Amino acid sequence: MPKFEAKLADGTLVFVPDVEVAQDKSEYVFHPAHGMLHFMVEGLEGFIGWAKPELLGFDSVLDWMKHNRYVIKCTCMACCRFREHEGLP
């Protein structure tokens, strides 16, 4: 199964299988991807794929982040400006 390198919103680089996750399960952890277009999905044994924000009932990753008061830990200039512009912590 092909994997790709993804950067999470906290700046961490991970390898994720190129599989779209189509259902939400209680054991899944959703990590916003750098760029805020998709989530990288972590299961019990590591990253299992990616998911669209609609899976969680949101129009965008940004809407999900605002709703959950998500803290962006990445310190690159683009993320710092984005955090300031969107009023995120």
Alpha helix (H) residue ranges in the chain: 61-68, 77-86
pLDDT number for residue 39: 92
pLDDT number for residue 1: 66
Average pLDDT over residues 66-87: 78
Domain that holds residue 61: 3-86
Q: 14: exposed, middle or buried (C-beta count within 10 Å: 0-12, 13-18, 19+)?
A: middle
Sign of the dihedral through C-alpha 44, 19, 36, 67: negative
- Give the model confidence (pLDDT) of 26-61 as tens digits: 999 998 887 778 899 999 999 999 999 999 999 988
Question: Number of folded domains in the chain?
Answer: 1
Distances in whole angstroms, Cα of residue 54 to Cα of each of 21, 48, 67, 77, 84: 11, 18, 14, 28, 25
pTM value? 0.78
